[in-house]
Amino acid sequence: VEAQAVSAVVEALYLHLKNDYHLRYEYEVRHNPVTETQVIRLPQHIEREGRGTCVDLVLLFLGCLANAKVKPVYVQLLLKNAKGELIAGHALAGAWLVEPYKKGPVLLSLDSARQYVNRGQLLLLDCTGFVEGYPSRQHKLSFDEAVDEAKRLLEEVEVQFVVDIRRAQEKGHDR
């Protein structure tokens, strides 16, 4: 029952951003490939400018989850071309549906993240689904499509890291 209630909150937040805001995806033109840094927009800037990168959108969504008392998880992916060369990073948002452990690591292994997703304890979604203008996509994604896309990416691309945000805060990494 708890997992269904949390999933309903996550879906409601997703649909609110998808239906009530007219946000556009924007590839980060200010990304510095040498230092691997990019400018992160704060939620008020995303709303005012009506745009954001995948990282901006994920951080916006994770903030919404935290405000709703849902435990957020951040996933950073590395997208590569057919030659194995890094072409871009991509971010996913996650929410704990069922708390898997009382005390655990801030950084989750890829195997454990996949296991939590497969067991229905961790829900991941692609936040570019609630915006317009994502490359090679003609429309916004339904909630289920955004979840399916995140699952596909988790299985098919390289995961750089997975951060349990609440664990990081508990351990004093929120400053």
Strand partners, 17: none
CA distances from 12 to 17, 61, 86, 165 (A): 9, 11, 34, 21
pLDDT in tens, 123-161: 999 999 999 999 889 899 999 999 999 999 999 888 999
pLDDT > 90? residue 75? yes
Name the phi and psi angles at 91, rounded to 5.
Answer: -120, 150
Where is pLDDT greater, at 145 or 175? 145
Gap between the terminal Cα atoms of the chain = 34
Question: Phi-psi bin for 132: left (phi > 0), alpha (psi -120 to 50), beta?
Answer: beta
Is the pTM higher than 0.75? Answer: yes
**Gap between the Cα atoms of 68 and 144, Å rounded:** 20
pLDDT at residue 39, rounded to an integer: 81
